[in-house]
Amino acid sequence: MDSYVVREPKLPLLIGILGNVSFIPLYIVSIVYSVYISPNFLELLGMAAIFTLSFGLLCFCSFYLILSYFRRKLVIDGCMLSYTPAIGRTRSFHYSDIAQITLDIQASVKLKSHEGKRLAVFELNMLGSVPALSYLESLGIPAKKSRLAERLSERKPARVKEEKDYILSHWDEETIMREKKFCRIIYFVLAALFLLSFLMPQNLKLACRIFIPHFCYGMYLFLYPKMTSERTDSYQISFPFFLCLIDLLFLFTFGKTLNMEYTAFFVIYALILTGCYLLTLLIRKRKEHIGKFLSVLCAVLFLSLLSSPAINAVTTFDQGSCETVRVLGFERFVDEHHLVVEVQGISQSFVVSGELSSSVSENDSITLCRRKSIFGVEWIELYK
């Protein structure tokens, strides 16, 4: 008797965990902001409510992905099927209860009853989905694609074939395999550099963490379009997506303790990185499809946003102007430490590290330094 199990791969679990780590603190901060701060500034109340709802939705989606990994599955045991959704009860049914298999937008497979109700849903990227679908079709259950899926299925093979033909017309498979092996060595070196950065002084540590994602972006452009973060084929080279993501999250953590304004720098820097991508397309004579173009653009914006504070910190060489200020009090917003100090007779709040926050007391004197990077971005540092 044939039996199959269709379940989620590990990717939704990883995304769900990263989502919760990122969005739960932001959700709590937005709630605190809405309850305690926004009523005093009514013009910010609407914005605070939007952020609260947005982060709440993102937290729910992250929890759903984790639940989906542990709960969601389709079990086929001969003629009997059992489907457990991420949220809800398990339901069992006979294969004769399935009137039709619908493939929606290429990836989603829906099993529908004779009454038109949905009995089970799974995606073709789930573990065990392909043999399970083949088995159901072998039972004589009719299958059809939705109109949108038919249109996409007509476009994607043509797009994939066009990209493969382009790559193989410019590079032979032996060259690509040699580059694959070389890139694998580079990935190990970058991972080792990331781990060693924990033992380095602050500026050198930041320089290493700035270097890693930018070097990977440079490799991506140099090898374009062979390098991809999607499931790779024999003619493609994998991109170190998770190494870059973890590295950038550490840069984000550092950036939260810097008191600086860098909006103009971020925009200009994002335009420069985007320009490098456009120049690559021009040199390679590639007319890229809109989906890939937008994904690269989003990655560039993400890289620019998270690396800008660290870049300006590393490129600050002057001592700046320093003054002694008095600590007035403390504020805590979930994972952020705020120090309220008196600067030239005016009370101001600054984000500081947990180490500094725990080492000073009210009415203590600390040093406030205003520094400017070589790019003209001014930022403030507090230290004891």
Same domain assignment for residues 246 and 306: yes
- pLDDT, tens digit (0-9, with 9 covering 90-100), for 68-103: 999 999 898 888 889 999 888 898 988 888 888 887
Residue 218 belongs to some domain of the structure: yes
Give the Cα-Cα-Cα angle 95, 98, 103 (nearest 5 degrees).
120
- pLDDT, tens digit (0-9, with 9 covering 90-100), for 316-374: 887 778 888 888 877 766 566 777 887 877 788 777 777 777 778 887 888 888 888 89
**pLDDT-based confidence at 156, cuts 50/70/90?**
low
pLDDT of residue 135: 84
- The burial of 62, by beta-carbon neighbours within 10 Å (0-12 exposed, 13-18 middle, 19 or more buried), is given as buried
- 373: number of CA atoms within 13 Å, CB side? 19
Same domain assignment for residues 24 and 132: yes
Written as six digits, the tokens of 207 are 């320089």
Residue 285 belongs to some domain of the structure: yes
Q: If DSSP codes are grouped into helix, strand and coil, which group holds residue 143?
A: strand
Same domain assignment for residues 331 and 214: no
Q: If DSSP codes are grouped into helix, strand and coil, which group holds residue 338?
A: strand
Same domain assignment for residues 195 and 273: yes
| Domain final position from 298, 314, 330 | 314
pLDDT of residue 153: 47
Phi, then psi, of 214 in degrees rounded to 5:
-70, -35
pLDDT of residue 148: 46
Written as six digits, the tokens of 336 are 């952020």
Question: What is the mean pLDDT of the segment spanning 267-283?
Answer: 95
Residue 256 belongs to some domain of the structure: yes
| Domain final position from 113, 147, 181 | 147
User: Over the chain, what is the mean pLDDT?
Assistant: 83
Residue 183 belongs to some domain of the structure: yes
Same domain assignment for residues 328 and 376: yes
Written as six digits, the tokens of 5 are 């199990």
β-strand partners of 4: 76
Same domain assignment for residues 67 and 183: no
Element (H, E) at 35: none
| CATH code for the domain of 337 | 2.40.50
Give residue for tokens 């004779």. Answer: 114
Residue 267 belongs to some domain of the structure: yes
Same domain assignment for residues 47 and 181: no
Same domain assignment for residues 289 and 207: yes
CA dist 83 and 5 (Å) reads 10
The tally of domains found in the chain comes to: 3
Question: What is the mean pLDDT of the segment spanning 243-259?
Answer: 83
CA dist 27 and 56 (Å) reads 6
Provide the residue range defining the domain that includes 204: 172-314
pLDDT of residue 46: 65
